[in-house]
Amino acid sequence: MIAADWAASLPLDLLLSPWALALLGLMVGSFLNVVVHRVPLMLERQWWADVAGQLTDRDSFRRVFGGDAPAGLAQAGLGLEKKLEALAPFTISRPRSRCPSCGHVIRWYENIPVASWLVLRGRCSGCQARISARYPLVEIATAALFAAVAWRLGAQPVLLLWCAAVAVLLALALIDWDTTVLPDGMTLPLLWAGLAAAAFGWLPPLTLAESLAGAAVGYLSLWSVYWLFKLATGKEGMGYGDFKLLAALGAWLGWQAIVPIVLMASVIGAIVGLGMKATGSLREGRFVPFGPFLAGGGLVVLLAGRETVLSWIGWA
C-alpha cells in the first residue's frame, strides 16, 4: 500500500521517462526469454495432439482416402494420446525455470536481469554449464527499445501500449529466427490490438480507417508476392505468418508505412545475409526467415518515422 501511494505521487514524466522504461524493459526482457524458449515447445505439443486426434478420426480418413483406416493407425493415435497425457504440465509459468544440463532450479536471485548472468559469469551455479549470452542481450535489447520508444513518443500513457507491441515484435523475431514459425497466438492478438487501439483513438494521428487499410495492404501485398512466386517457380518463398505480421504492423503504423517497412526489412535482411555469408554461417540451401527483418523494419519505421525512412531511400 505504501509502495503504491509512493508510486502514485511520482510525476508522469519520471514514471514514463526513458530511464524508467529501460528498467521495465530489463524485466520484460527476462520474461521474453522464457516466452521465446517455451512457446515453440508448447506449439509442438499441440501439433502432436492434433496428429493424435487425426490418426483416430476414422471418418476423416474415409473422406480423404476413400476407404477404412488401417487398424494400426487408430491404435497409434491412441498410444500417442496416452504419451501426451503422461507428460508433465508445460506452460509459460510451469515448470519453474531450470538448467537444461543438470536440472538445477533457478532461484530468484539467479534470475535478476543482466546482473545475475554477470555475477554467475555466464555459468550455472549447479553444474557450471555455460549460459548463453543471448539471455542478457535480449534483456538489454528490450531495455534499449523501451527507452528509445519513450524518447521518441514522450511521457504519455499510450507509451506503455507501444512498449507492449515492441516486446511482442521482439519475441516474434526471435522465435521466427530460431524455428521459422510465427505463432498465430502472438501475431493475431498484435493485429487486433492495433486495430482496437486505433478505434479508441489511442494511436494519433492514425485513424481506424488507416489502420484497417494498413492491415489489409500489409496482408494482401505479401500474399500476392507469395502466390506470384509460387506460380512462377512452384516453390514457397515465405510463410503465412509473414502476411499476418505485416498486417499487424500495418494496423499499428497505417497503410502509408507498408512500403517503408518492406524496404527497411529488405535492407536489414540484405545486410544480415551478407554478414552471414562472409562469416560462413549462411550455408547453401539454408532457409532464412523473413519475419525478423519485417519486425526490424517495423521498429525502424516506428522509431525513425516513415517520412524519415522514405527520405533515406530518396522517396520523400
- The answer to whether residues 293 and 174 touch, using CB atoms and an 8 Å cutoff, is no
| Model confidence band, residue 1 (pLDDT cutoffs 50, 70, 90) | very low
Q: Is residue 193 domain-shared with residue 135, that is, in the same domain?
A: no
Percent of the chain at pLDDT exceeding 70? 95
Structural domain for 119, as ranges: 1-151
pLDDT over 70 (residue 10): no
Domain boundary among 129, 151, 173: 151
- Residue 76: other Cβ atoms inside 10 A: 15
Q: Is residue 144 domain-shared with residue 169, that is, in the same domain?
A: no
Q: What is the pLDDT of residues 82-109, one digit of tens each?
A: 999 999 999 999 999 999 889 899 999 9
Q: Is residue 312 domain-shared with residue 167, that is, in the same domain?
A: yes
Global pTM? 0.93
Domain boundary among 151, 178, 196: 151
Q: Is residue 175 domain-shared with residue 128, that is, in the same domain?
A: no
Q: Is residue 79 domain-shared with residue 172, that is, in the same domain?
A: no
Q: Is residue 121 domain-shared with residue 238, that is, in the same domain?
A: no
Q: Is residue 179 domain-shared with residue 233, that is, in the same domain?
A: yes
Q: Strand, coil or helix: what is 130? A: strand
Q: What is the pLDDT of residues 195-251, one digit of tens each?
A: 999 999 999 999 999 999 999 999 999 999 999 999 999 888 888 999 999 999 999
Q: Nearest CA to 212 among 228, 196, 226, 200?
A: 196
Domain boundary among 151, 174, 199: 151
Q: What is the pLDDT of residues 100-139, one digit of tens each?
A: 889 899 999 999 999 999 999 999 998 999 999 999 999 9
Residues 6+ apart with CB under 8 A from 39: 92, 171, 175, 183, 185, 186
Q: Is residue 165 domain-shared with residue 182, that is, in the same domain?
A: yes
| Number of domains the chain is built from | 2
